[in-house]
Structure 1
């Protein structure tokens, strides 16, 4: 089940937090509960992706994106993701999550998120391609940035450019065997 209570808690905790610049980093603390684990007694890989929502949505709130989305009746969707898992997070272990927008292209807003163990090790890292959607389809990121009064975004990092190129080379729809 989606962690609605945890999401409401995060939105409540950060409701009066200082506004972040568009590329600001939202930092939050979380705990791995028994319902987050898999058979190997660690944070489940699919649940990790769900828990990353607990950082992305408050990030959108703190940067001003949420107010624009509500006002314009736009939506926010994940159009792609790439995740690395490097360290286990065990039941009841707390961790820090960092969420940040890192750039845009003509269609998408790119985000990076990471989970950090208390010993300073990075447990996982995710890159997201997100889209703002409206009645006519995808809203250009430049329009979203103008709505929040942002001056612009830095150039995309090389590793995200490489990811975009790799995604562009993938066949769509995927080839089927039969």
Structure 2
């Protein structure tokens, strides 16, 4: 499945899942390594892990209500730093889970943890940490303000 199809899949599936609290959202998605995910060594390409992390964050954005708030306020999510540790390979057609959760934040950035687990063995195959922020017209919006705006928007709908 090409990346656009995976993104459309996440957009559709995420809307039907339970709402996540903005303060500590976590998400788990399941995918399979496809031919366009592999490199010359016949395992998932290291760059593809980062793309899958993007999809997992999209699930969190949708389910927490952040996506609608970002669209309404013309905010943009930006990843400022990302590191990965690769422990084992994911082979062609192997099924895996990616779990993502916000683990911390400071005055500028959210810190997220990404864990890739093989469905077959149950073992962690890769782990990553990313730092991201929400910006508007080049200005970083503090995470606490982001969470307050999302919470207020959700409360006003109830």
TM over 0.5: yes
**CA-CA distance at 1:98 after TM superposition:** 0.4
Aligned residue number for residue 87 of structure 1: 88
Question: Is 1:4 matched up with 2:4?
Answer: yes
User: Residue 135 of structure 2 corresponds to which residue in structure 1?
Assistant: 133
In the other structure, the counterpart of 1:154 is: none
Find the aligned partners of 2:42 and 2:77 in 1 and give their Cα distance.
32
Q: Which runs of 4+ in 1 moved over 4 A?
A: none
What does residue 21 of structure 1 align with? Answer: 21
- Secondary structure of the structure 1 residue equivalent to 2:146: helix
User: Corresponding residue for 2:60?
Assistant: 59
Unaligned runs of 5+ in 1: 151-178
User: 1:136 Cα shift?
Assistant: 4.7
Residue 128 of structure 1: how far off its partner (Å)? 0.5
Deviations 1:88-144 (A, max 9, x none): 000000101101111110000111111100211001111010010102511111110
Match in the other structure for 1:167: none
Shift of 1:51: 1.5
TM-score under structure 2 length normalisation: 0.90
In the alignment, the residues of structure 2 paired with residue 68 and residue 109 of structure 1 have an alpha-carbon distance, to the nearest angstrom, of 16
Alpha-carbon distance between aligned partners in 1 of 2:15 and 2:71, rounded to the nearest angstrom:
15
The residue aligned with 2:43 is 42
Aligned residue among 140, 144, 147 for 1:145: 147
In 2, the alpha carbon distance for the partners of 1:141 and 1:108 equals 6
1:120 corresponding residue in structure 2: 122
Separation (CA, whole Å) in 2 of partners of 1:96 and 1:34: 18
Q: 1-side partners of 2:79 and 2:107: how far apart?
A: 16
Q: Which runs of 5+ in 2 are unaligned?
A: 153-158
The whole-number CA distance in structure 1 between the counterparts of 2:139 and 2:25 is 27
Query: TM-score, with normalisation over the residues of structure 1?
Result: 0.80
